[in-house]
Chain A
């Protein structure tokens, strides 16, 4: 059976995340912050991997979905008063943010997923910009100055708990007869259709699922940085996530997680080179692309796809 004992791995991941969050007061605050950044990047990269990697639909709008979830949950937290302190509050608002992002994903996805390749990339790019511009001009969420003073609710437990759930969900989907349709659509849409797969529906489902987790990542991000500015969700942010997926190897979960970790840590390590940082970052990406074009963990053996 494909992907055996999946649920046990999920429980183990969540248990580790909770354990880590109990130990977290002993960590250096800076490192703690970086580790949470890594967890959020893992959610973003694995969820985009479902769309861009497994299903092969090139989306450039992931930061937009992240913004939807982020601004929504941050706004709720700033208006929720005392209930913010309840244990149930944070997961609930995160999931609500995810669902809103998924709904927006459905709205964007249904018309645009009929397009292929470059066209989809352009539409999703445009969508991301629309979200940013709308956020920039909406007084309720602080317009151009953004939202300040968001309560700090994100910790290691929630971040890696949701990271474990997103990795599990996407692996579980792709390793099932139901979800193999994503890969079939990626490989050959015409053959997929003639074998009974509703390609548009499959693409929309991948898109909406990806948007859901991006929304959750946005909520985690908002309650981690405690400050949200619309400019933080521009298309460059989307590109960052796309690079993680490409570098990790489209459709390879383990590789994409590794790339998410690497690309989040790299700018931190390069901090001491201050102004040369982005140049080194760019060079490293170019080098990785040249040396490992099929992804970090690409193995040239007979390949087993999902891992």
Chain B
């Protein structure tokens, strides 16, 4: 394996006296599909927020494409190729489905303040191009028919999907999905698993997944890291994790071991 895409080295974050994530080390290579699981409050989303630059680690380092991401703003990291979705869906509520995608495609659109004001030929070309790309994306994910609807008027499952599409519009190399299966029924979960695999293969992405649903995690992840109280207690293939004594203890209590 080449140098990893994302590498965490003893990443630690403290809020006051609470250590939310402690000495977390792991890495993701190009095209890998990795899951993070753990009981509630284990620090999974906090780890996500560190990787995406929302929080800064108190100590330790995070490298993306070999570069330390310390102090880099989330929008810069998005530009560098880290995209994410949120546990509680965060779509732009007053924008249409299409505009939600276009605003994320803005990173690669190349327009500036004065070109948007002047609306010259170059601007028009960029605008047409952006719209075309956005529609193509929506087409692939069967959302093109709802292009003019408000994003938040979509059914729940579609909103989750749209958030993933929006993340793809930033042209990421690493996609972080925070509980994408939350609130989905079994059929929707199956669709989601297919979608994640499809997205990973088609766009050559590495995917990092936080998820509570074991069926989803075990079904698609190549590798799983388990957190408990901010500490990584295990890492390995789904099969290894399923029989790992520490993991069983974390989920079911010591008596079960």
A interface residue numbers (CB < 8 A to B)? 1-2, 6-7, 169, 172-173, 176-181, 183-184, 186-188, 190-199, 205, 251, 302-305
User: Size of chain B's interface in residues, with CB distance under 8 A?
Assistant: 47
Most interface-central of A176, A192, A251 (chain B CB within 10 A): A176
B95 touches A305 (CB 8 A): yes
CB-contacts of B100-117 with A (<8 A): 102-107, 109, 111-113, 115-117
> Which residues of A sit under 8 angstroms from B104, Cβ to Cβ?
195-196
Known: A184-B103, A190-B90. A179 touches B95 (CB 8 A): no
Flag if A199 contacts B75 (CB, 8 Å): yes
B residues at A contact (CB < 8 Å): 52, 54, 73-75, 78-79, 83-84, 86, 90-96, 99, 102-107, 109, 111-113, 115-117, 119, 123-124, 126-128, 130-131, 148-150, 153, 166-167, 169-170
Once the chains bind, are B113 and A194 in contact (CB under 8 Å)?
A: no
Decide if A191 touches B92 in the complex (CB within 8 Å): yes
7 further A-B pairs in the complex, CB-CB below 8 A; given A176-B119, A177-B126, A192-B103: A177-B127, A178-B106, A178-B116, A183-B94, A187-B92, A187-B95, A302-B153
Pick from B83, B94, B117, B131: contact of A173, CB under 8 Å: B117
Pick from B78, B105, B106: contact of A194, CB below 8 A: B78
Query: Could you tell me if B150 and A302 are in contact, using CB atoms closer than 8 angstroms?
Result: yes
What are the residues of chain B within 8 A of A178 when measuring CB–CB?
Answer: 106, 109, 111-113, 115-116
Task: Give the nearest-CB partner of A170 in chain B.
Answer: B117
List 14 A-B residue pairs with CB atoms under 8 Å apart, sorted by A's residue number: A1-B128, A173-B116, A173-B117, A177-B130, A180-B102, A184-B95, A187-B91, A187-B92, A188-B90, A191-B86, A193-B54, A193-B75, A193-B78, A251-B94
* B119–A172 touching, CB < 8 Å: yes
Closest to A3 in B: B119
Query: A205 to chain B: which residues have CB within 8 Å?
Result: 113
Q: Is the CB of A194 within 8 A of B116?
A: no
- Report whether B73 and A198 are in contact in the complex, using a CB–CB cutoff of 8 Å: yes
Among residues of A, the one whose C-beta sits closest to the C-beta of B115 is A178
Q: Which of A2, A169, A190, A197 contacts B117 (CB 8 A)?
A: A169
Return the chain A residue nearest B95 by Cβ: A183
Which of A172, A190, A196 is within 8 Å of B54, CB to CB? Answer: A190
Contact of B103 among A2, A177, A305 (CB under 8 A): A177
Smallest CB–CB gap between A207 and chain B, Å? Answer: 13
Contact between B94 and A196, CB atoms less than 8 A apart: no
**Cα separation A2 to B107 with both chains bound (whole Å):** 19
Contacting pair A188 B75 (CB below 8 A): no
**Contacts of A188 on B, CB cut-off 8 Å?**
90-93
Residues of A within 8 A of B127 (CB): 1-2, 176-177
Inside 8 A of B116's CB, which chain A residues have their CB? 172-173, 176-179
Q: Shortest 7 CB-CB distances between A and B: which pairs?
A: A191-B90, A196-B78, A176-B116, A196-B107, A178-B116, A178-B111, A187-B92
Closest to A54 in B: B94
- The answer on a CB contact under 8 Å between B90 and A180 is no
Q: Are A195 and B119 in contact (CB under 8 A)?
A: no
Minimum C-beta distance from B122 to chain A (A):
12
Q: Please, which residue of chain A has its CB at the minimum distance from the CB of B128? A: A1
A105: min CB distance to chain B, Å: 14
Known: A183-B92, A190-B54, A305-B94. A196 touches B117 (CB 8 A): no
Q: Contacts A178-B113, A179-B116 hold; do A194 and B83 have CB atoms under 8 A apart? A: yes
Q: Which of A180, A186, A188, A305: most chain B CB closer than 10 A? A: A180
Within the complex, what minimum Cβ distance (angstroms) separates A251 from chain B? 7
Contact A196 B113 (CB under 8 A): no
Most buried by A among B83, B99, B124, B166: B99
Residue ID in chain B nearest A182 by CB atoms? B103
Tell me if A194 and B119 are in contact (CB < 8 A): no
Determine which residue in A172, A184, A186, A205 has the highest number of CB atoms from chain B within 10 A of its CB, and name it.
Answer: A184
Contact of B109 among A177, A198, A251 (CB under 8 A): A177
A191 and B91 contact, Cβ closer than 8 Å, known pairs A196-B104, A197-B75: yes
Nearest-neighbor residue (CB-CB) of A198 within chain B: B75
* Minimal beta-carbon separation of A50 from chain B (angstroms): 12
Shortest CB distance B111–A (Å)? 4
Q: Which residues of A contact B112 (CB under 8 A)?
A: 178
Q: How far is the CA of A194 from the CA of B150 in the complex (A)?
A: 20
CA distance A196 to B107 in the complex (A): 6
